[in-house]
Structures are given as structure tokens and as C-alpha cells.
Amino acid sequence: MTQTDTRLYEARELLRKYYGYPDFRPGQIDIVESVLAGRDTVGIMPTGGGKSICYQIPALLFEGISIVISPLISLMKDQVDALSNVGIPATYINSSLTADEVYQRMRQAENGEFRLIYVSPERLEAGAFMAFINRLRPRMVAIDEAHCLSSWGHDFRPSYRAISPLLQQLDERPVIAALTATATPEVRKDIVELLHLHQPNVFVTGFDRENLSFSVVTGIDKRDYVLTYLERRPNEAGIIYASTRKEVDSLYEFLEKKRVPVSRYHAGLSDEQRSRNQDQFLYDETRIMVATNAFGMGIDKSNIRFVIHYNLPKNLESYYQEAGRAGRDGDPADCVLLFQPRDVQVQKFLIEQTDTAPDRRSLDYQKLQAMVDYCHTTHCLRGHILTYFGDEHPPHQCDNCSNCNGDFDKQDVTVAAQQIFSCVLRMRERFGVKLVAGVLRGSRDKRIQELNLDTLSTYGLMKGKSEKEVVGYIQTLIADGYLKLSDGQFPVVQLQSTAVPVLKGQASVVVRVPKRVKAAVQHDNGLFEVLRALRRDLSKRDGVPPYVIFSDSTLREMAAACPTDKSSMLAIRGVGEMKLNRYGAEFLAACRQFRAEGVAD
């Protein structure tokens, strides 16, 4: 057995012991092997793909200590709580601690009492703290949420740019592992260059989350939709994202009046309120969290069964990261986006209010348009997302999104498309969507008359159709690649090369029009609810969130197998030796009692 084989065997044994999994996922094993071989490594894995294991297992195998650079206090605490719960010595050092607590943890670290220390990038900017890191001589530095390095990314943090020069000051260069979930090709390139990685291995394990079902819902009363959705899922945990504090407060108050167990989270609340509300959600005291995008990064709650976006997110990176907080346990989960055209104007307003350079603002508009295209495409939603992130093999049909699973009629819109293309051409590709629609509808708008656009041959070609209908046609043609919008706050409609054969009568345009959206079928399991109640009691006893004890997927497998001895309990995914020793007796007793009562019945 080679040294590499020995290391990988030891890694798998640790995975079974501490995490309860028989083997690594395909993407994980490549990253773990690379890091253990001492190679700088970039890992791009979907949210819920198990990124933390990719640096935690090597940290246990390396001699000495490893440093994890993490962007949020909640993320650090969550990771350290989970590690401590299975007996792995870890800690964090951040602004939530007093000076005495920081000193105590630094001294413990120098005495070799920890295997991992989580720190914020801002902490590294203190010269004294860097001297402390240098004394520790870390074998590995893991950079979580590494997309924060790149100005192309959606969560750019300038403090992340200080990581590389500070690491270069260390007397002994550690192995660098940079991991993230949402990175376009441009962001990946930035990560490698800005960290000055040495001939790194870059692993893109795919962005697909097959257990997530994606839906875009339009033309509905959002409040009614949300209330009906929640009533159909009375025992499931979920997050509802809204774009502004005002929207969060309004929806929270509405749901609270309807007696929905709900919390809220946004930057306008006090630190104490946010912390209390977050804990209520994590500990299953409330099952619904209404929040702005300030909530979520570092929230490792594995039993979130749905994420609803009440408003349009600013870009696909944000959307996929936020939606990806559903179904981290691998069980089926829903990702629903409620779309109204006015949401686009809200996001444009937010872009204009941001103090950023012109080139960054232009990029933000491009990203917003890609998000709008997602809402209007008639093709596979999953394929649209994966194409955006550079996946080489996006599906044409995933059979797990509203566009693939919905009930559709095919509609030939070639004539309408030709009319629109011809109008855009005659307007010299100089005007926006609404003005194009106005000309086509024969509008008597003052600006159309001032610009003599009412003299065009395409004026009034779609007379009798509503503005909503014509704008909808244009947006669909943009999303499907026949038209495009220029950058900026006031984008103009332009033709793509694919429109030319349609104009010449050499190609047709067929779109799919949804008739209805199928409701998800819900299943219940009596033992599953018993085990969930037990988990809730144990979480209160031990002061840890329920999902730290066992994930929903582990409980579902446990409920299906109903183990009655330690051997069969260890066969359940997510039940390792450490968890068995700590919680096995209680869960085995519950399973035995359930089985005995079933026999008695």
C-alpha cells in the first residue's frame, strides 16, 4: 500500500468515525487527496456538497494545527459546535469574544489543544495576530467562501484581498485550500491569481443539486400563494427571502397574524434580536424564517425543505446560493421564485443606490439581466443555471423543475417574433422594451409621437394585445437568446444573430406556455416524527441545534430501517461511532418502543 493509499484509508476511517459516512462523495475524495498530497487546491462544490469535510479531514491527519478563514461569526460558531459535538477539538477567534477569551484561546492553541482554529479575514490584518499564526506554524490554511476574493463575485469582501500578502509573511508556507459553492469561470481565475497559488489543482465537482426542484411562479397574489404553500407543509422548515427590510417586516406581520410559527431577520434588527430569532429557527422553535439576504451564509441547518424567494434576487449567484440552503441533507426540497416585473425595478434602484465604480455597476446590470432571463426562459431552469456557471453538460430536460414538469402547450409565435424583430430593427436598436412594445401596440404615447416612431411600418402591428402580453413576448425572446439588452440602468433591445433566419422566414420560434404547476406530494412517517421530537429534546439538553445531532435524511433512513441494535444503527448514513456513543441509546430505545407498539397493534 502506497503512502497515498494509506492516507486515504485513514481519511475514510475518520469519515466513518466522526461523520458516520461509509465513503466520500466523488468530488470530496479528489479534493481531500490533493490537499493531503500537499498541493494547493481550489474546490468548487454546490451548497450542501460537503465542502467543510474537504478541509476538516485533512486537518485531523496533518500534524499540528490548521487555520480556517471564514467570513461570518455564525458560520464559525456553527462549524465549531458541530466539531465539538463529535469530539474534535476546535475553536474560533472573532469579535464576539472578550479580550480575555481571545487571549485564553490563543494560549490553548499554542499549547496544542486544538486541531482547527476559525478566524475572520479582518483578524489577519492585525500584526500581533499574524505573529501568533506564525508561531503556530499551521500545516494548512483553508479559505471558506473563497468567492469573496473576487470583484466578479456576488459577495466581494475587500478584507479577503489581504489574505495572500499576509500568508506570504509566514516563515513556513502552508498548504492552501480554497473552497466555495458559487464561482463562475472568471471568479475561479481570480481565486487562483489573487491567492498566488502554486500550481493548484482545481476541482469543479459540478453545480447540480439533483434533490432540489426549481420553480418560477408568475401572475399570482404572492401573499395568498405563500400562505397556501405553508398550510400544505405544516411541519416543514423553510426560508422566505425578500429584497427589503420593509418587505420582510410586512410579510412577517402578515404570517404572524395567520398564526404561522415565523421569525424574521434583517440588518434593521438589533444584534440581540437577530441572534434570538436565528436560534429559534435553528432549534426548530419556529419553522419559518422571513429574511433579507443578510441571513443564511454559514447556516448549516440541514432540514430546510424549501426556500421561497418572495422577490427577484440581484443575480443568479445569490439566488443559487440562497436556494441551495434547502435540502442540504440530500432529501427532496423546493426552490420557488415568485416573479413580478416590478421586482426588476427594485433591483435596479438598489444597484443605483450602491456606491460602486461604473464598471462594477455595469457588471451588476448584466448579472441582473441573467436573473431576469431565468424567470422568462421556457427551457429547463436547472439547465439555465448550470449553463450560467459554466457546466459543460447542462441538461436539456431535468424532470425536476417547473419548466420540465409543468403541463405545457406548445405555441408557435413565429409571426409575433418576426413583428418584434422587425420593429427593433426599424427602431435602430436604440430603445427599451416598453417603447418597443408601445410602438407595436400602436400607443399614442407622447414620446412615440415626438420621435416620429408612429410613422414606422411596424407601428400598430400588435394592436389589440395588452402591454403585459407584448412585453412578455419580448422578455421570452431575450431569455431564449433571440434578443439581448444592452448594459446600464436603461438598457435597449438589440437583435442577436439567431433572430436573422426567423426574420428571413428560414426558422420558426416555438415556446411552451404553462397550463398549471403540479403540487408536490407530501409523505409522512410516524416514527420519523417520534425521532424528530426526541432530537428536539436532546438538542435542548445539549444546547446544540437539532441538525447537529442527526440530519433529517439520517432520521428518515432510521425511521425506515427502525434499527434495534448498535450494529444496525451504525449502518445508517450519518451515524458514526461518536454519535452512536453519544445518542445511540436514546434513539435505539425509541425505535424498539415503536416496533413493539407496532407489533402490539
Question: Is the model's pLDDT at 360 over the cut of 80?
Answer: no
Which candidate, 552, 7, 516, places its Cα nearest to that of 328?
Answer: 552
Amino acid residing at 417: A
- Residue 295: all three cell numbers together: 441571513
Domain with CATH 1.10.10.10 in the chain: 409-512
CATH class of segment(s) 3-204: alpha beta
Amino acid residing at 408: F
Task: Please tell me which residue, 523 or 396, carries the higher pLDDT value.
Answer: 396
Scored b (16 or more CB within 10 A) or e, 454-477 reads bebebbebbeebeeeebbbbbbbb
pLDDT of residue 199: 92
pLDDT of residue 182: 74
Helices (H), 427-564: 433-441, 446-450, 467-479, 499-503, 526-542, 546-549, 552-561
pLDDT of residue 114: 95
pLDDT in tens, 144-160: 989 888 876 666 778 88
Give the global pTM: 0.69
pLDDT of residue 394: 80
pLDDT of residue 521: 39
pLDDT of residue 128: 84
CATH class of segment(s) 212-406: alpha beta
pLDDT category of residue 407 using cuts at 50, 70 and 90: low
pLDDT of residue 408: 65
Interatomic CA distance for residues 367 and 151, integer angstroms: 13
pLDDT in tens, 465-505: 888 889 888 988 987 889 988 877 778 999 999 999 999 89
pLDDT of residue 321: 86
Which candidate, 207, 187, 212, 157, places its Cα nearest to that of 45?
Answer: 207
- The CATH fold of domain 409-512: Arc Repressor Mutant, subunit A (1.10.10)
Question: Is the model's pLDDT at 534 over the cut of 90?
Answer: yes
Q: Cell numbers 438589533 correspond to what residue?
A: 270
pLDDT category of residue 515 using cuts at 50, 70 and 90: low
The string of DSSP codes covering 85-126 is HTT--EEEESTTS-HHHHHHHHHHHHTT--SEEEE-GGGGGS
Question: Is the model's pLDDT at 124 over the cut of 90?
Answer: no
Task: Please tell me which residue, 519 or 280, carries the higher pLDDT value.
Answer: 280
Which CATH code fits 526-600? 1.10.150.80
pLDDT of residue 298: 60
Helices (H) and strands (E) in the chain, counts: 26, 17
pLDDT of residue 512: 67
Question: Is the model's pLDDT at 291 over the cut of 80?
Answer: yes
Task: Please tell me which residue, 351 or 519, carries the higher pLDDT value.
Answer: 351
Question: Is the model's pLDDT at 599 over the cut of 60?
Answer: no
pLDDT in tens, 250-284: 999 999 999 999 999 998 999 899 989 988 998 88
Mean pLDDT of the chain: 87
Strands 304-309 vs 333-339: parallel, antiparallel or unpaired: parallel
